[in-house]
Copies of this chain bind each other. A is one copy, B any other.
Amino acid sequence: MDDRICIDWNLMNDFIIDVFEKYGVPREDAAICADVLLESDRRGIESHGMNRFKPIYLDRIKNKTLLPVTNIEIVKETPTTVVMNANNGMGMVASHKMMTMLIEKAKTCGMAGGSIFNSTHYGIAGYWSTMAAKEGLIGITGTNARPSVAPTFGVEPMMGTNPLTFTMPTDEEFPFNFDCATCIMQNGKIEFYDRMGKTVPEGCVTDENGNTMTDPNKILKDMRAGKAALLPLGGPGEENGGYKGYGFTTVVEILSAALSGGPFLKALSGIDENGKPDMYRLGHFFFVINPEFFMGLDTFKKTAGEILRQLRASKKAEGHDKIYTAGEKEYLSWLERQKKGVPVGETIKKELVQLRDECGLTQYRFPFE
């Protein structure tokens, strides 16, 4: 971490927008994408922020598996529901439009739900549910993804890391925000173990025979070859509840595809039959619930806040002096980072300079130069 330097949030935001625009993304859409990417860095979820700008978005626009102009098609709309075809455009742009619509519907009708198909990576799932919480609503969302998780008693990478995310308003400075993959750990975490030279804990990854793998380097190599798979929350078999994590992952796989009739499981590999990069065709789902249609927002916020405070105040295990609630670490990350800026390491530094030069954005000078 020592080689990291912080870049001003506004500078980085402007830069992302300008680069996206040079890549053909309309300026208004680019602003949405910049905010989603940087929100991830604000929350300390670096795996989904600036780290992904080039490889997951720009490189894919270049290889034509992600279209810079998002031609959103509303396939079906009712007072409470929306089905949207993102036509392989920016998943973040389609999701922003979807949540804007659902928030209005939930304000009017109390409950709203939506699904998007033919989409691409939509950034951190929690961004979308947080849009609801900022309006005093409960947000729920999930997405399918490239197959990498095996079912209980299975070894084949079948399902995505499939986050199931809930954000709820509270009477505190920040919402309750539970935003996690439904498997134990994701690729990014295994790369982290690899960089640190540490072994991966037992029970998180299976080889093709059902044996646990702990060498991160071998895991990454075998996962690329389809010979290793991530395990659902709860681990292998049924003994420690692995079938429960598998159940949650399946819930997300079904909701992401079945509400819109989109593809699922191995059809989401991003590789066509000739081994060439293919469209991702991801599916997402969104539900918004309005507490004003139950016992009121104030009651909801106060009850939620009180539950979280009592959990934090409960007795700690030896060696621990703090109990967190979901979303708290992300809020603390923002408090720490807001004045400092976005931390970037060597890889991102190089990418920034390269993108600046490639796009001819000569007005930008970075603090590490």
B-contacting residues of A (Cβ < 8 Å)?
75-76, 78-81, 83, 109-113, 115, 138, 150-156, 158-159, 166, 168, 176, 178, 180, 182-185, 201, 203-204, 206, 208-211, 233-236, 239-241, 243-248, 250-251, 253-255, 257-262, 264-266, 287, 289, 291, 293-296, 299-301, 303-304, 306-308, 310-311, 314-320, 322-326
A250/B325 contact (C-beta < 8 A), A265-B310, A293-B81 known:
yes
A239-B154 contact in complex given A265-B310, A293-B80, A303-B257, C-beta closer than 8 Å: no
Given A201-B239, A300-B259, are A176 and B254 also a contact pair (CB < 8 Å)? yes
Instruction: Tell me the complex Cα distance, A323–B249, Å.
Output: 15
Query: Measured between C-beta atoms, what is the minimum distance from A230 to chain B in Å?
Result: 11
Q: Complex Cα distance A192/B247, Å?
A: 23
A129 to chain B, nearest CB (A): 11
Closest Cβ–Cβ distance, residue A73 to chain B (whole Å): 13
Contact call B315/A155, Cβ cutoff below 8 A: yes
28 contacts between A and B (CB under 8 A): A75-B295, A79-B109, A80-B109, A110-B113, A111-B287, A151-B325, A153-B322, A154-B311, A154-B316, A155-B315, A156-B315, A168-B255, A168-B258, A178-B248, A180-B243, A201-B240, A206-B317, A209-B318, A210-B318, A233-B241, A235-B240, A236-B317, A241-B245, A250-B307, A250-B308, A250-B311, A254-B303, A257-B303
Q: A153-B322, A250-B325 are in contact. List 15 more A-B contacts (CB 8 A).
A: A75-B295, A80-B111, A111-B113, A115-B295, A155-B316, A178-B248, A182-B244, A247-B326, A253-B307, A254-B304, A254-B307, A257-B303, A258-B303, A259-B295, A260-B295
Q: A318 vs B208: C-alpha distance in the bound complex, in angstroms?
A: 9
Query: Which chain B residues border A236 with CB–CB below 8 Å?
Result: 317
Residues of B within 8 A of A156 (CB): 314-315
A244–B111 Cα distance when bound, in Å, is: 26
Whether A294 contacts B115 by the Cβ 8 Å rule is yes
A266 CB, min distance to chain B CBs, angstroms: 7
Copies per complex? 2
CB-based contact A154/B254 at 8 Å: no
Neighbouring B residues of A325 by C-beta, 8 Å: 151, 250
Q: Which residue of B lies closest to A181 (CB)?
A: B244
Known contacts: A294-B76, A325-B250. The answer to whether A113 contacts B314 by CB under 8 A is no
Q: How far is the CB of A361 from chain B (nearest CB, A)?
A: 40
List chain B residues, Cβ under 8 A from A248: 178, 248
Q: Are B151 and A323 in contact (CB under 8 A)?
A: yes
- Cα distance A117–B250 in the bound complex, in angstroms: 30
A291 proximity list for chain B (CB < 8 A): 258-259
